[in-house]
Amino acid sequence: MIQFIPVDKSNPPARSADVAPAQVQELLRRACFDCHSHETVWPWYSQIAPVSLLIARDVKKGRKEVNFSTWDKYNEKRKARKLKEIAMQVEKGNMPLFYYLPLHPGAKLSPAERELIVKWAKQS
């Protein structure tokens, strides 16, 4: 019965979300955009409950925290706050989420890649 619970797996129209220099932007796209943009890739297993419910919840929560597709709508104060949060979460190793990585190994960030994102977030 759980399979029949409707789950929102929509991607609103995505605008260009270049929020960082090219090298950092590529890392954000690879490791963050599935949950933090309107460019979510919904894999086959996102169609099967209860996984579909968990993925939809994570994407909704991720977009609420920071959404790179709507970054240009954030005011400067909000951008500064989000950059501080990004630096802190990436530096601590909290992002990408540990349970996301087994099925998305390309999202794994090396220490150097983490450092690059943190440096960008702290300097912006």
pTM of the model: 0.87
Q: What is the mean pLDDT of residues 7-30?
A: 85
CB 48 within 8 A of CB 124: no
18 Cβ contact partners less than 8 Å away, ≥ 6 residues apart: 25
- What's the helix, strand, coil split of the chain in %, to 5? 60, 0, 40
Apex 98 CA angle, 94 and 119, nearest 5: 35
Looking at every residue in the chain, the average pLDDT score rounds to 91
pLDDT tier at 112, thresholds 50, 70, 90: very high
Q: What is the mean pLDDT of residues 28-52?
A: 92
